Structure 1
């Protein structure tokens, strides 16, 4: 049974909705119905949202599998917190104008760390 992963999935879903709201607001203010309209602010809002959509589901799936295989609550929480921190830092750093590059970079390192450690943990637990 999953007891921990759903908490991180919910928090990241809230982040994703916030990023989506930013895309919608940017569309409205720039009067952009479809695509990016060549607007740099629109492109940044879209890519910030898309980056979350590209990495978070895969990482959450791996974390859920770690939890389902019986990993300790500490391990699952560390993976979830690492992913959540990574996604928040990346979204904040990338979404700012000008970008806060170090936050974007730390966010990606944390995201990759969560994915890699969860992948390795799944292999260890499965074998």
Structure 2
């Protein structure tokens, strides 16, 4: 089964990840830094922006895929997926500013909200489907041991 929403969001996030990685390379080349950040605050911030995407994207993509497989609303998934992509771009730009700023804070906050909404949606689908007795729903029933 092809998951068009998840595949598109995954591709967009791959491009964002490449963009975040490519922003790191010039500083590494200029300062001959192969490992770490060599005490460069901007390099460290850019490294964290990329790492932060890599920390959150798997959870979002897994939830998107499972909700899409479970028959979740494509429109809702598109909105949340694209909002996540935009949030990570805003966060990346915000990390270039070495003080607190709306781009960084907004990107982080949007990421948390989107992850929470997807988690709630997944739980609602999992337990709502079980309660409704929908076909194909895995039901785990505890068994008493003798």
TM-score using structure 2 length? 0.80
The answer on whether the counterparts of 2:42 and 2:98 sit within 8 Å (CA) in structure 1 is no
Which is greater in Rg? 2
CA–CA distance in structure 1, aligned partners of residues 17 and 30 of structure 2? 20
Tell me by how many angstroms 1:97 deviates: 3.4
For structure 1, the residue ranges without an aligned partner over 5 or more in a row are none
The answer on whether the counterparts of 1:85 and 1:110 sit within 8 Å (CA) in structure 2 is no
How many correspondences in the alignment?
Answer: 126
Greater helix share, structure number: 1
Query: Is 1:116 the equivalent of 2:116?
Result: yes
CA–CA distance in structure 2, aligned partners of residues 49 and 78 of structure 1? 22
Task: Please give the per-residue CA displacement for 1:51-101, whole angstroms capped at 9, x wherever unaligned.
Answer: 11111121111111111110111111111022112111111111x234561
For structure 2, the residue ranges without an aligned partner over 5 or more in a row are 128-146
The equivalent residue for 1:126 is 126
Tell me by how many angstroms 1:4 deviates: 0.9
Task: Point out 4+ residue stretches in structure 1 off by more than 4 angstroms.
Answer: none
The equivalent residue for 1:47 is 48
CA–CA distance in structure 2, aligned partners of residues 21 and 82 of structure 1? 22
